[in-house]
């Protein structure tokens, strides 16, 4: 377990990110890849029973924001992620190179 200062800092970071997500969501809808982009008829889809912590770039309308998320599905080129802000859960598909594996749990 981290120091009280580190724990407080992580909490503030999480709260700041939630505010940023909710503000961005007011300015535009969450963008997600289409079935055509995912090529759902030809590409295999993996459902991850134990989602991994990731950092991902997402778009709300024209605004890009980096979020702490969970990788819940994937295809050879894309990642299905979910993330929370306040009491809302957001889900979308992003290109795989918009996602990096990250041990976000160690920051909490």
Domain boundaries, the chain: 4-107
- Model pLDDT for residues 12-40, shown as the tens digit of each residue: 788 889 999 999 999 999 999 999 999 98
Question: Residue 37 CB: number of other CB atoms within 10 A?
Answer: 12
**Which residues are CB-contacts of 50 (< 8 A; sequence separation ≥ 6)?**
none
Q: Per residue in 61-106, pLDDT tens? A: 999 999 999 999 999 999 999 999 999 999 999 999 999 997 644 4
Cα–Cα separations (whole angstroms), residue 72 to 23, 36, 61, 101: 24, 20, 23, 12
Please tell me the total number of residues recorded for the chain in this structure.
Answer: 108
Q: Are 66 and 60 in contact (CB under 8 A)?
A: no
Residue predicted with more confidence, 13 or 3 = 13
Whether this prediction's pTM lies above 0.85 is answered by no
């Amino acid at each position: 377990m981290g120091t009280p200062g580190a724990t407080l800092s992580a909490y503030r970071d999480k709260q700041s990110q939630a505010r940023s997500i909710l503000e961005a969501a007011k300015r535009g809808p969450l963008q997600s890849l289409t079935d055509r982009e995912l090529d759902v008829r030809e590409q295999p889809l993996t459902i991850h029973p134990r989602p991994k912590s990731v950092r991902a770039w997402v778009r709300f309308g024209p605004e890009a924001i980096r979020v702490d998320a969970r990788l819940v599905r994937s295809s050879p080129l894309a990642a299905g992620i979910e993330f929370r802000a306040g009491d809302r859960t957001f889900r979308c598909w992003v290109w795989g190179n918009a996602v990096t594996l990250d041990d976000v749990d160690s920051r909490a």
